[in-house]
Chains A and B, each alone.
Chain A
């Protein structure tokens, strides 16, 4: 079945630095990728939607200059948290939709801790 690889699974960074999270579709072409943020024991909050080769569409309230999303190929999307602060600490999950359009495959998530 469809597999999405997300890494790193865990990252600790210092305040003010930037962190990049990668999401790769291993055996299918992901025309659309979604980035979510999940707070402890809470639902997934959609941050942005990205289509290959075009700019990401951010949800209301998500700072696009802080959370940079790149979807340069049909198999890779990246989320860069710039100038990270402790309040950015969270669990980030990506999801990919293939050309068929019906299903969503999720990455295993990245636990970001900003100290």
Chain B
């Protein structure tokens, strides 16, 4: 079985400061990892994904994430947060060994304040 943990329900950060949203995962095969962002009453927007290759993945809107196999983590980061980054962020995993179902974490509400 595959699973994702997002340990923080909410993260608060001041605009201009770096932000980190944490994610750890569990899969039996090689992980395919994704980050999505959701604004109120909207679907999910793709930010970035890791399938193979470089452990540091750069995505949309200045976000990046680092795949750490030993810690089974895939934390989302941004060097300088914007108020407009305030939204709900989901980490998701798919087992690369088979199947195409995505399993989502519980989500982390990011609040960026002036």
* Residues on A facing B (Cβ under 8 Å): 4, 6, 9, 32, 34, 41-44, 46, 49, 91, 93, 95, 97, 101-109, 111
Residues of B within 8 A of A34 (CB): 101-102
Pairwise interchain contact A103-B105, C-beta atoms closer than 8 A: no
Q: Are B102 and A104 in contact (CB under 8 A)?
A: yes
Q: Which residues of B sit under 8 angstroms from A44, Cβ to Cβ?
A: 44, 90, 104
Q: What are the nearest 7 A-B pairs in CB distance?
A: A106-B43, A106-B44, A108-B43, A43-B106, A109-B43, A43-B104, A44-B104
Interface residues on B, range: 20 to 34
CA distance A44 to B38 in the complex (A): 11
- B69 CB, nearest partner CB in chain A, Å: 20
Residues from chain A with a CB closer than 8 A to the CB of B45 are 106
B49 to A103, Cβ gap below 8 A?
Answer: yes
Contact of B46 among A9, A41, A91, A105 (CB under 8 A): A105
| Contacts from B to A (Cβ < 8 Å) | 32, 34, 36, 41-46, 49, 51, 88, 90, 100-107, 109
Q: Which of A9, A101, A108 contacts B100 (CB 8 A)?
A: A101
Chain B, residue nearest A101 (CB): B100
> Main SS of the interface on chain A?
strand
Bound-state Cα–Cα, A101 to B96, Å? 11
Residues of A within 8 A of B105 (CB): 43
A109 to B44, CA, bound (A): 9
Q: Min CB distance, B31 to chain A, in Å?
A: 13
Closest Cβ neighbor of A32 among chain B residues: B100
Point out the residue from B32, B34, B36, B106 that lies within 8 Å of A42, measured CB to CB.
B106
Cβ contact within 8 Å between B51 and A43: no
Bound form: Cα–Cα A34–B34 in Å:
16
Shortest Cβ distance from A105 into B: residue: B46
* In the bound complex, CA of A108 to CA of B90 (Å): 15
Cross-chain contact A6 with B106 (CB below 8 angstroms): no
Across-interface contacts of A95 in B (CB, < 8 A) = 44, 102
- Residues of chain A with a CB closer than 8 A to B46's CB: 103-106
Q: Are A111 and B41 in contact (CB under 8 A)?
A: yes
Is A91 in contact with B101, judged by CB distance below 8 angstroms? no
B36 cross-chain contacts in A, Cβ below 8 A: 106
